[in-house]
């Protein structure tokens, strides 16, 4: 075999080896692609089934949401970070920027029993973000229907209950705010009952405060009366000295002690005088008896002398 034939044979053998290697690699890669394709097909079928299920759940959720929203009327949302100061508290009222007659908050025209036309203020129920993914109900507000209260894009809302300053301090409109034009009867009754309970509680707190102040006043008066009685008994160093009434300064107790000591001293002096008087009386009696005896003796002597003279 010539050299050229040998070279060609070697090249053919090398080509056959390379072809076999490439064919093996292609077969392995084909198997991997087929596995990935089968997995992709299975994932697609699973995703299709999940999508259909999700669509059904979405439809059910939308129906439930619509049923839940029944009775709540129109809804106005004020997202957090929107217009600066969309809702602000001004002297117990809400100044709202972005809600007015141009987007559904309109006056209602009615005719009363006497046939007179009247305007009714629209009512708004206000909710705020509670910071935990839920809502906090602030309360029911009526729009101020005066010319300066209700305009196209602004309004002033007045609470329909007596909101205390302490309650107003808890209102926080920095986050998202939602307003609704209606509230279901059950929810409204619960809120009304809650407001009545709050008002009753505030009334009880006020009455308790008044009773506490009255008790403090009575306690102060009792302490003053007690101190006056103590001063009457024990004395008052700040009182003026009155000669006829030493008890005003010294007190009844010390005055009684002084009077008793003075009385004891007087009784002792009187007893001493009585003793001296008794001694003097006995001495006088003795002297009188002695004089009587002397007088009797003298009388007897004179009688004898007169008899002798006769």
First-to-last CA distance in the chain? 238
Q: Would you say residue 225 has pLDDT above 80?
A: yes
Q: Tell me the mean pLDDT in the region 63-79.
A: 70
- Rounded CA-CA distance 76/53 in Å is 32
The span from the CA of 164 to the CA of 208, in Å, is 17
The better pLDDT of the pair 16, 101 is held by 101
What's residue 185's pLDDT? 65
Q: Mind listing the pLDDT tens digit for each residue in 29-55?
A: 777 777 788 888 888 888 888 888 888
**Contacts for 53 with CB less than 8 Å, ≥ 6 apart:** none
Q: Whose structure tokens read 């009615």?
A: 110
Residue 199 near residue 162, CB atoms below 8 Å: yes
CA dihedral (269, 271, 277, 282) positive or negative: negative
Tell the residue number behind the tokens 């003795």, with chain if given: 286
Locate 141 and state its tokens.
Answer: 């507000």
Asked if 77 and 178 count as a contact pair (C-beta separation under 8 A), the reply is: yes
Q: Taking each helix axis as running N to C, give the angle between helix 252-309 and helix 185-234, from 0 to 180 degrees, rounded to the nearest 10.
A: 30
Residue with tokens 């509670």: 130
Q: What is the DSSP string of 59-102?
A: HHHHHHHHHHHTTS--EEEE-TTSSTTSEEEETTEEEEES-SGG
Q: What are the pLDDT digits (tens) for 279-298?
A: 888 888 888 888 888 888 87
- The 93-97 sheet, strands edge to edge: 75-78, 177-180, 123-129, 135-143, 154-159, 93-97, 87-90
All residues at 6 or more sequence positions from 256 whose CB lies less than 8 Å from its CB, including other chains: none
**Average pLDDT over the chain, rounded to an integer:** 79
Task: Enter the tokens of residue 127.
Answer: 């909710």
d(CA 268, CA 28): 142
The predicted-structure confidence for 142-160, as pLDDT tens digits, reads as follows: 999 887 888 888 999 999 8
Q: How far is CA 132 from the centre of its chain?
A: 23
**Predicted pLDDT of residue 263:** 86
CA distances for 131 relative to 95, 128, 134, 275, angstroms: 22, 9, 7, 103
pLDDT at position 196 over 90: no
pLDDT digits (tens, 9 = 90+) for 110-132: 777 777 878 888 989 998 888 78
For the beta carbon of residue 10, count every other beta carbon within 10 angstroms: 10
pLDDT of residue 208 exceeding 80, the answer is: yes
Q: Any idea which of 140-144, 158-162, 208-212, 297-301 has the lowest mean pLDDT?
A: 297-301
Confidence class for position 302, pLDDT limits 50, 70, 90 = low
Query: What residues does 97 pair with on adjacent strands?
Result: 154
**In angstroms, rounded to a whole number, what is the distance separating the alpha carbons of residues 72 and 208?**
39
Predicted pLDDT at 159 = 92
Residues 4 and 242: their CA atoms lie apart, in Å, by 158
What integer pLDDT is reported at residue 78 of this predicted model? 87
């Amino acid at each position: 075999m010539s050299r050229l034939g040998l070279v060609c044979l070697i090249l053919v053998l090398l080509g056959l080896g390379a072809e076999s290697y490439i064919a093996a690699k292609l077969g392995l890669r084909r198997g991997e692609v087929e596995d990935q394709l089968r997995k992709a097909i299975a994932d697609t079928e699973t995703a299709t089934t999940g999508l259909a299920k999700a669509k059904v759940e979405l439809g059910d959720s939308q129906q439930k949401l619509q049923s839940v929203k029944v009775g709540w009327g129109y809804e106005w949302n004020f997202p957090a970070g929107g217009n600066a100061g969309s809702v602000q508290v001004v002297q117990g009222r809400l100044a709202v920027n972005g809600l007015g007659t141009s987007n559904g908050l309109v006056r209602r025209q009615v005719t009363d029993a006497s046939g007179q036309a009247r305007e009714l203020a629209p009512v708004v129920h206000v909710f705020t973000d509670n910071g935990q993914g839920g809502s906090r109900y602030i309360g029911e507000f009526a729009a101020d229907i005066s010319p300066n209260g209700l305009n196209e894009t602004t309004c002033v809302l007045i609470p329909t209950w007596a909101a205390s300053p302490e309650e107003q301090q808890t209102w926080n409109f920095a986050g998202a705010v939602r307003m609704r034009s209606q509230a279901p009867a059950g929810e409204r009754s619960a809120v009304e009952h809650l407001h009545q309970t709050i008002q009753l509680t505030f009334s009880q707190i006020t009455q308790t405060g008044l009773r506490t102040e009255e008790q403090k006043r009575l306690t102060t008066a009792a302490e003053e009366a007690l101190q006056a009685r103590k001063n009457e008994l024990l004395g008052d160093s700040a009182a003026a000295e009155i000669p006829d009434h030493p008890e005003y300064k010294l007190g009844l107790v010390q005055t009684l002690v002084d009077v008793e000591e003075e009385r004891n001293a007087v009784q002792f002096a009187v007893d001493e005088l009585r003793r001296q008087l008794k001694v003097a009386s006995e001495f006088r009696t003795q002297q009188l008896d002695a004089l009587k005896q002397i007088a009797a003796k003298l009388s007897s002597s004179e009688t004898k002398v007169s008899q002798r003279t006769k």
